Amino acid sequence: MNAPLIPNVLSVAGIDPSGGAGLYADLKAFAAFGAYGCGVVTALTAQNSQIVSGIHAPPPEFVRLQIDTLFADVRIDAAKTGMLATAAIVRAVAEGLAVQRTQGKLAHLVVDTVMLSKSGDELLTRDAIAMLIETVLPLATMMTPNLPEAGALLRSSPPDSLRDMQRAAERLRRLLPDSGQCWVLLKGGHLPGDAVDLLYDGDRMIEFSAPRIDTLNTHGTGCSLSAAIAALLPRTDVPDAVGEAKRWLTQAISRSGELTVGQGHGPVHHFHRLWSR
């Protein structure tokens, strides 16, 4: 079956009122790659570029209702998850998406293991991490942890070198009893030097490197990268999707200074290809 000209891509994530991260950022990334964005809201936050001052989670039953109602009407070509907040919401999302996977209505799922905000605020409760591993990761086409998230998933200290990243990528994939076609994209942006990410499928270990950009405007980089990959997967293979998404994000960070949003960690420039300087 040919890929759709304009894919419909879903973000299952929380709301960041500043627009730099979460569902709003995902929708921008989808649009930047010519995909139509849909959204299921898993959490409301009160936050800006500096702090998260409050989190409100909807009832898990309502999160599940959003998923079921959307898929009953709209063809979804790929989806990604972001902030899932609580163990109960993680389970509701897993159960809802598992039904769609079983029915052949969801070909691709990118799991962005969102745990901390840029300001250091906890966005995923500790009991939810085990639930994520048990119920959501087995559905994934790809997981995209950064180094602190990899440490939390593996119950170890975060990788602190490229060699440690390689070992961690191998261990992350072994978290799943039947990993199937799940890829691990381990993001190395917390290490000094160039921003190096590793993509691993159990056989190939592919390295993606980009120059580090001296800027505070890195709010929502993980959300935006995973969303870009999800938007590309209906039309290309995994390595090409990751390479194209990383090149786009590097430019989005590089040109983030053209925006003036907040006093802290500002957003990336999702529409740097479309807006004039």
Parse the chain into domains and list their residue ranges: 8-141+216-258
- Give residues with Cβ within 8 angstroms of 119, minimum separation 6: 47, 50, 51, 52, 264, 265
What's the pLDDT at 177? Answer: 65
> Is pLDDT above 80 for 16?
yes
194-231 residue pLDDT tens: 889 999 999 999 999 999 999 999 999 999 999 999 99
Is residue 181 exposed (0-12), middle (13-18) or buried (19+ Cβ within 10 Å)? Answer: exposed
What's the pLDDT at 122? Answer: 66
9/43 Cα distance (integer angstroms): 19
Structure tokens that stand for 102 in this block: 């079983």
47-85 residue pLDDT tens: 999 999 999 999 999 999 999 999 999 999 999 999 998
What's the pLDDT at 120? Answer: 60
Mapped onto helix, strand or coil, the DSSP state of residue 80 is: strand
φ, ψ at 39 (rounded to 5°):
-145, 140
> Is pLDDT above 70 for 138?
yes
User: Considering only CA atoms, which of 46, 6, 10 is closest in space to residue 26?
Assistant: 10
Q: Which residues are catalytic?
A: 187, 218, 220-223
Q: What share of the chain is helix, strand, coil (3-state, %, to 5)?
A: 40, 20, 40
Span 113-141, average pLDDT: 82
**Level-2 CATH architecture, domain 8-141+216-258:** 3-Layer(aba) Sandwich (3.40)
Confidence of residue 126 (pLDDT cuts 50, 70, 90): confident
Residue 228: half-sphere exposure toward Cβ, Cα within 13 Å = 26
85/58 Cα distance (integer angstroms): 10
Q: Where are the beta strands (DSSP E) in the chain?
A: 8-15, 36-47, 52-56, 78-81, 109-111, 142-143, 183-187, 195-200, 205-210
269/277 Cα distance (integer angstroms): 11
163-185 residue pLDDT tens: 999 999 999 998 876 656 799 99
Q: What is the CA radius of gyration of the chain?
A: 17
